[in-house]
Amino acid sequence: MSDDAAIAVIGVGCRFPDARDHAEFLRNIAEGRVAFRDLDRSALLAAGLTEETLDDPAYVTTAATLPGAEDFAAEFFGYSPTEAEATDPQQRIFLEVCWQALESAGHAPSGDPLITGVFAGGSAGTYLAALQAARMRTDGVLGAVDDVLLHLGGLGDFLPSRVAYKLGLRGPSVGVQTACSSSLTAVHYAVLSLLSGECDLALAGGAAVNEPVLGYRHHPGALASRDGRCRPFDARSTGTSFSSGVGAVVLRRLRDALADGDPVLAVVHGSAVGNDGSARSGFTAPSPAGLADVVAAALDVAGVRGDQLRYVEAHGSGTPLGDQIELRGLTEGLGVAPGVTGFCGLGSVKANIGHCGPAAGIAGLIKAVEVARTGVLPAQPLFERPRSPGVLADSPFRIPVEPERIAGDDRYVLVNSMGLGGTNATVVIGPPPPPVRPAAPAGDRVRLLLSARGDTELDRMAGELADALEHGAVAAADAAHTLRVGRTAFARRRVVCAAPVDLPAALRAPAPATPPARRGVRLVLPPAGLPEGVRERLAAAFRGRAEFVTDPEEGGPADDRYVIAAEALSAAATGPLGNATGNPAGDRLDDRLDEALGAAWLHGVDVDWQVPAAGRGRRVPLPTYPFTRRRYWALDRLPPLAAPLAAPDARPERRQRDDLTADLVDLWREIFGIPDLGPDRAFGELGGDSLTAMRIEAAVQRRHGVSVNVHRAGGGQATAGRMAQIVRGLRSPGTPQDPAAARPAQPADGREADPLDADLALPLGELAAADRTPGPGTLLSGDTGALETTLLHELLTRSAAPVHRLLPVPDEESGRALLAAAAARLGLPEPDPARVRIVPAEPSAVGKALRRHHDAEPAAGIGRVVHATTGTGPGLPYGEARLHRVLPFADILGWMREQAVPDCTLISPLAACAPALGAEAVIEESREQPLDPRRGGAAQAAWVAERLLERAERDGMRVRVFRTGLLLGAPGGSTGDALAHLLIGSAAVGRHPLDDQPLPLTPLPLAARAMAELLAAPGSVGRAYHLVDEEPLTVRALFARLAAAGLATEGVPVRRWQRAVALRALESDPDPRALDPLALRTLAASAPGAGRIQARAWGAWRDRQPDGELPVGDLLLHGLRRTAAHDPEIAALLAATLTEDRDD
């Protein structure tokens, strides 16, 4: 953006938690204060909450509250008490804040000749909803609908137009509704309006007031946090904390602001707005690509490169998914070169004040303006450890934990805001340029003009101004100029004249009474007339309404005129020398003119103060109007807000039901609005999103006393029937079957009900304080499958550090034999016994084995653990799979935490994931994953292991997850190896099935090499890596690749292929275990159900590799040959197919 298109931020007004004004808000941020407090229990009880509710551990009573939400300067703005109470507090406070913003910019809120626009967004608040509910109770729905006063006072449509009406603003008045990004989107459109010439000045902001705050019940996986606090980008964050806030900024074209002496706080160089569209997992889910596009567009408009930014004020909602996506989108949007990291500060004001809904963006902008103005980065409160350390380490960002000063003058700052529903807004700002308009001349005396509606407010105004001048924040002469050109004149007036150093005392002195107001002014000219130009200046200053006479009695009695004897003006031009500007006579004349104009103004005469200013004087921020507020709160007369309404059950037959599935099916029908919805309709298929999931979870909690979130029930594949099964498992034997009588039940102990839920709460122990430097050794736990064996080889190749191999064997000798056989099967050298230390352990005694091993070899120095949950047969029930995959891993984590071993990596199958909430079948590359209930026990066990890893991460452990698909290049043939069975069966019969099932494939050698390298990469901490292609190959395409490698088979329909494999199995003696006509079905059960899998982190690593990888067909053929080489039965099956020229 060129200088001609730059926009200045010249004024700010705001009210946020713990901050009644702009100065207090900035002070709180600079000092790192947070506004979250425990709510008063007695007030919550008085509001209708019960002791039982408040004692519920899931009920959160910590929040950030807005000061003075109940109060309003109704008389000042001309509202009757009835109108004031019918007006939503967010509209009332926004009106006050806009007045303050204009005054802080040095522009009179009423009477300024500039065309001023208003752009703002609000939300539906508690106050209006409560009033409408009360009206419905007394007058029915029609009574509430027909209440015009409530509609005018509460609807967001009238937020900007109310300000325009009350302040007399004639520019565009535009309501903006983009949810959480509303206020920053309003800034964008205010900028466009200024650039197009629609207005000369613009107010932009937003408001959200949801008072009183009564707490909420925390639901795992929902948006709100577990403890009522907001910790953006922190590993401990469990969600956001919704709060209230109101803010507005004043914008003006930079060239006009500089010419007029406005207080430029920062400069808007560019902005952009856009929506994520449909390329996301659900309506409420953000998209990194959509955000990146908007960020890049804003930088492009601003003409600023990403590497020039020094701070980003992020949306930073504190939700695990939102923060991760925002960090990725910001990184992509900045477009800096790989490896250029940590140069830009990152923070979010939500850590201080919570999430202010539609006012969140303006809160972030106000904070960012101060960063650009001062060059000081405030510390991010409540931040200890990043949620995704690897992602942050590889990004351009760092999160300041102590205040920092930006080096240099190019302090470019980016502000980002993301709206629920997909609308992103980004603004790029920079520091203010030096002023160009001359300051007001500094004379021996300064004359201050103060005006208010009443004497009490006038006295308070004088006292606050005295405090500001005493602290030396502004020049007295510019303060005098600002009071003249930037304040509205009221009936009560005062003129204070003193030397600059004496002004505070003079302001605190008792004020004389305001003299009676006069309708006009009469100037009595001396016989010799006035010096040249003086009469013209006076006529212009009095806007052509002054009478000029030579005789005081001329024109009749002067009862309604203020009379000025102009002789003093003539004498001033020829009196003793002065010393203000080098033109003594001119200085004295200016002072006498100022005195005369000030006296006339004191008597109620209208004065145009721009005339005597003559192009000098700068507007400076001064204390704004001291409103007298009173409580206008209609809720005081209503029943307690939290008390339930006594209303008959609209469906009494529901009380008679004991069919849990039918009840939940009815619930889903109500929420989705589909009357014939059945128990097996999938959540994602129905178009469900995170908000729908929250509604379902809350309703199940109310009806049945247990908390079941949609992720737990399968995410996009969740059904009402599956949810009913989980509810049955969680309800203890005495839980009532009647939904209306349900009470919160204790979870089952895992033996009588669902062991999966019990395993999620397995004890992990406390994380011990580290009293030593972590050693270089790696503990590798898992089967001796192809992946674990190849990874062991890579670890030994890359480092001289020892590897401790945890194996389910009775002794060390058995373990070494197992490792040797596994290596031989892959054509790898036998692991060096001097480097590999065997840890024998039965699955039920892993913890004891590790302690015994540690005691025997205390100098072994294990610094990290790699645990693989792959390899378990997909058909195992969860009760069996947990014995091999969950309970041993919990033991490992417990031992790690006991010994302060800090680093844990989990290798998990992609089958443990499910598509994200929403209709599009995409598995996101994120740590948080829904559980797909269609998967077998092995996938469920891997999913539980990942959840245990999340718990371990919360208090400081470094973690990462590698998720694999079907292994390419691995020997197969064992029971449960569905991909090998598909390949062997097809090669044996010379035919393959024409099937389009997607198969996520992991190239074995490359995946093992990536894991070994990334284990030691700081950028991997906190990440999930999907070691597959983003677009999986189908079965049909797989065999096309195999044909290209030299093994061609005929494509036939699935049933023909199954019949051919079955017949070949019957012909063999004995029946080969690898000929499985149901291999396709097994593959479907073990592969994730998605057509697309995000794999950006893995893709970035692959792009950096200097050598290419083997083609898919070659890897498939290699795996078949290795299988035949070590399995005589399979070698016999494939003898006619495979050549003798093997590559092993």
Of the chain, the percentage scoring pLDDT greater than 70 comes to 87
251: left (phi over 0), alpha (psi -120 to 50) or beta: beta
Total number of residues shown for the chain: 1144
Rounded CA gap, 736 and 742, in Å? 6
Q: What is the mean pLDDT of residues 209-238?
A: 89
Burial class (CB in 10 A: 0-12, 13-18, 19+), 133: middle
pLDDT tier at 934, thresholds 50, 70, 90 = low
The angle at the Cα of 277, spanning 276 to 280, to the nearest 5 degrees, equals 70
pLDDT tier at 977, thresholds 50, 70, 90 = confident
Contact 155, 121 (CB under 8 A): no
Using the predicted structure, report yes or no on whether residue 735 has a pLDDT greater than 70: no
Rounded CA gap, 109 and 13, in Å? 12
Please state, in angstroms and as integers, the Cα–Cα distance from residue 724 to each residue in 654, 660, 691, 733, 749, following that order: 16, 6, 20, 15, 18
Q: What is the mean pLDDT of residues 1072-1099?
A: 76
Burial class (CB in 10 A: 0-12, 13-18, 19+), 982: buried
What sign for the dihedral angle of Cα 967, 972, 977, 979?
A: positive
pLDDT tier at 1141, thresholds 50, 70, 90 = very low
Please state, in angstroms and as integers, the Cα–Cα distance from residue 699 to each residue in 279, 519, 709, 1046, following that order: 29, 68, 11, 58
DSSP-derived pairing of the beta strands 862-868 and 397-398:
unpaired
Contact 357, 211 (CB under 8 A): no
Tell me which of 38-47, 109-118, 152-161, 377-386 is least confident.
Answer: 152-161
Identify the helix (H) or strand (E) that includes residue 791: helix 786-798
DSSP letter for each residue of 299-346: HHHHT--GGGEEEEE------HHHHHHHHHHHHHHHTPPTT--S-EEE
Q: What is the average pLDDT score of the chain? A: 85
Burial class (CB in 10 A: 0-12, 13-18, 19+), 810: exposed
According to DSSP, residue 32 is labeled T
For tokens 């029937």, name the residue.
Answer: 721
SS3 1092: strand
Q: Which two tokens stand for residue 432?
A: 């203010």
Q: Residue 123's closest CA among 353, 419, 422?
A: 419
DSSP-derived pairing of the beta strands 492-498 and 446-452:
antiparallel
Domain parsing of the chain, residue ranges: 3-232+270-430, 440-514, 515-611, 652-753, 764-960, 965-1144
Q: Residue 235's closest CA among 1034, 945, 950?
A: 950
Q: Which two tokens stand for residue 751?
A: 């033996």
Using the predicted structure, report yes or no on whether residue 688 has a pLDDT greater than 80: no
93 bridge partner residues: none
| pLDDT in the model for residue 644 | 59
The model scores a pTM over 0.85: no
CATH architecture of 965-1144: 3-Layer(aba) Sandwich (3.40)
CATH topology of domain 3-232+270-430: Peroxisomal Thiolase; Chain A, domain 1 (3.40.47)
Domains 3-232+270-430 and 440-514 share a fold: no
CATH code of the domain occupying 440-514: 3.30.70.3290
Of the chain, the percentage scoring pLDDT greater than 90 comes to 45
Using the predicted structure, report yes or no on whether residue 254 has a pLDDT greater than 80: yes
Using the predicted structure, report yes or no on whether residue 203 has a pLDDT greater than 90: yes
pLDDT tier at 975, thresholds 50, 70, 90 = very low
The angle at the Cα of 500, spanning 497 to 501, to the nearest 5 degrees, equals 120
Higher pLDDT, residue 696 or 396: 396
Q: Which two tokens stand for residue 686?
A: 């129905």
Using the predicted structure, report yes or no on whether residue 882 has a pLDDT greater than 80: yes
Higher pLDDT, residue 17 or 681: 17
3-state helix, strand, coil in the chain (%, to 5): 40, 15, 45
Q: What is the mean pLDDT of residues 1038-1054?
A: 90
Contact 699, 691 (CB under 8 A): no
What sign for the dihedral angle of Cα 326, 331, 334, 340?
A: positive
Using the predicted structure, report yes or no on whether residue 1071 has a pLDDT greater than 60: no
Using the predicted structure, report yes or no on whether residue 224 has a pLDDT greater than 80: yes
pLDDT digits (tens, 9 = 90+) for 377-426: 999 999 998 877 878 888 999 999 999 999 888 899 999 999 988 899 99
At the top level of CATH, which class does the domain 764-960 belong to? alpha beta
Rounded CA gap, 1002 and 760, in Å? 28
The angle at the Cα of 637, spanning 634 to 642, to the nearest 5 degrees, equals 95
Q: What is the mean pLDDT of residues 129-152?
A: 73
Which active-site residues does the annotation give? 180, 315, 355
Higher pLDDT, residue 380 or 1032: 380
Q: Residue 466's closest CA among 628, 260, 626?
A: 626
Cis peptide before 212 (omega within 30 of 0): yes
Rounded CA gap, 1125 and 1142, in Å? 9
Contact 415, 344 (CB under 8 A): no
Rounded CA gap, 667 and 742, in Å? 15
The torsion angles phi and psi of 461, rounded to 5 degrees, stand at: -60, -45
Rounded CA gap, 224 and 608, in Å? 53
Contact 376, 31 (CB under 8 A): no
Burial class (CB in 10 A: 0-12, 13-18, 19+), 553: exposed
Higher pLDDT, residue 363 or 930: 363
Who contacts 656 (Cβ-Cβ below 8 Å, separation ≥6)? none
How many CB atoms are located within 10 Å of the residue 675 CB? 7
Taking the CA atoms of residue 453, residue 458, residue 464 and residue 467 in that order, the dihedral angle to the nearest 10 degrees is: 150
According to DSSP, residue 734 is labeled T
CB hemisphere CA count around 152 (13 angstroms): 12
| pLDDT in the model for residue 973 | 53
Using the predicted structure, report yes or no on whether residue 1023 has a pLDDT greater than 70: yes
414 bridge partner residues: 312, 428
pLDDT digits (tens, 9 = 90+) for 583-637: 454 567 788 888 989 999 999 999 999 999 989 999 999 999 999 999 999 888 8
Of the ranges 128-142, 778-792, 1092-1106, the best mean pLDDT one: 778-792
According to DSSP, residue 1072 is labeled -
| pLDDT in the model for residue 116 | 97
Q: Tell me the CA end-to-end span of the chain in Å, nearest whole number.
A: 63
Q: Residue 1057's closest CA among 1117, 997, 1126, 1115?
A: 997
Burial class (CB in 10 A: 0-12, 13-18, 19+), 225: buried
Who contacts 41 (Cβ-Cβ below 8 Å, separation ≥6)? 54, 61
| pLDDT in the model for residue 678 | 87
SS3 161: helix
CATH H superfamily, domain 652-753: ACP-like (1.10.1200.10)
Who contacts 490 (Cβ-Cβ below 8 Å, separation ≥6)? 451, 452, 453
| pLDDT in the model for residue 557 | 64
Rounded CA gap, 780 and 868, in Å? 8
Identify the helix (H) or strand (E) that includes residue 60: strand 59-60
Contact 1102, 1006 (CB under 8 A): yes
| pLDDT in the model for residue 439 | 93
Rounded CA gap, 339 and 360, in Å? 32
Which parts of 31-119 fold into alpha helices (H)?
A: 41-46, 51-55, 74-77, 81-86, 89-104
The angle at the Cα of 839, spanning 836 to 843, to the nearest 5 degrees, equals 140
Q: Residue 183's closest CA among 254, 274, 246?
A: 246
